[in-house]
Amino acid sequence: MDIFAKCYADSLADEYRAMDLFPYFRELQSRQDVEVIMEGKRRIMLGSNNYLGLTVNPEIIEAGVKAMEEYGTGCSGSRLLNGTLVLHCRFEEELADFLGKEDVATFPAGFQANLGAISALVGQHDTAVCDRENHASIYDGCKLSYGKMVRFRHGDMGDLERRLKALPAETGAMVITDGVFSMGGDPARLPEICALAERYGARVMVDDAHGLGILGEGGRGTANHFGVEDKVDVITGTFSKSLASLGGFAAGDAKVVDYIRTSSRPYIFAASIPPASIAVATASLRYLRAHPELPRQLSDIAAYMRKKLLENDVKIMDGITPIIPIYTYEPVKTLKIQKELYERGVYVNATLPPACAPNECLLRCSLMATHTTALIDEAVDVIVDVLRKYEL
């Protein structure tokens, strides 16, 4: 059998393309901002993870330009060998201090940070205990490890305790969870997770890709928000959201981070983060520290949009983050609504299986601290009009 046969077989993507409903790979022709030019037309951007709006900040852009001028375009090697710049080391020190951890290891991408940390830490006789709604990078990190993975029902502490209690006493265990879940926008129940992990001798890892810059004092993340920084053993995350760059990190005790640096294949065998990207992440972190009002500003605009949607009887999940899911349930209906919103100048993300459960499709709206109430009013008017047409 030809290994490429599956590539030429009919697929769901082909079916959606035939219906002119395929919603992905839209071409952006402007900066990542609250308003963009996409495929030749102005759209209100409600589908970006640029939570603090820093991708267009002149101060941060300048930091990237200067780094490229001084250090060139790339590092041409791994961190282990020739690819460690003073920029990497400086950023790791500053991020560790910000998160209240001893050390940080940086990776070329947030996805890779989870691959690298989990595959290094979960060994042959260990078990990763995962929330069912964890990000795909966590699942893939577990697959890359030599250990086992068991899953507990999303946010169900009773099920988590049953899973932990069933593990053999000689098994090393790590509970792994998103800090803020990327589709629903709900924070993990970290105080209860940490208490259960302590009771059963497990460690805790939190992927805070959608919590850093959003929750906690000055944007220090989900563990800080719940006051359990000392109970969370490893924090991973990305620079591609609040820090307006590209890259990822794993933070924890110095010995744990050093073990990741010297044992993780996705770390050892990958080229290091380019100078401009690490400089932008550093400038963004410094800007966040100098402007602790940004997370509050983001929270306020998210609360404003939630209020406007609820006033118009739009069904959303209650929440405190800038991720606002609007439930549309059926895949084809979801794609039709997303397409009509797009044509009317509002960009939101259509979320379909496997990113959500069947018949739990949704439109994932995500806000930036730089959105204005006028833009939200304009977007909500369009959203409400389209949803009513589809009796939602």
Active-site option among 210, 225, 308, 371: 210
Helix, strand, coil proportions of the chain in percent (round to 5)? 45, 20, 40
Measured between its terminal Cα atoms, the distance across the chain in Å is 46
Rounded to the nearest 5°, which phi and psi values hold at 190? -65, -40
**Residue 51 near residue 241, CB atoms below 8 Å:** yes
For residue 72, is it left (φ>0), alpha (ψ between -120 and 50) or beta? left
CA–CA dist 354, 368 (Å, integer):
26
Contact between 136 and 274 under an 8 Å Cβ cutoff? The reply is no
Select which of 48, 182, 240, 242 is catalytic.
182
Q: Is 371 a catalytic residue?
A: no
Q: CA-CA distance, 149 to 174, in Å (whole number)?
A: 10
CA gap 11, 188 in Å, rounded: 34
Whether 182 is a known active-site residue: answer yes
The DSSP letter of residue 134 is -
Q: What single-letter DSSP state applies at residue 145? A: S
Per the residue annotation, which of 135, 241, 308, 371 is the catalytic one?
Answer: 241
- Kind plus residue range of the DSSP H or E element containing 42: strand 41-45
DSSP state of 232: -
Q: Rounded to 10 degrees, what is the CA torsion of 117, 211, 319, 45?
A: -110
User: Is 210 assigned a catalytic role?
Assistant: yes
Distance CA 166, CA 161 (A): 9
Residues designated as active site: 182, 210, 241
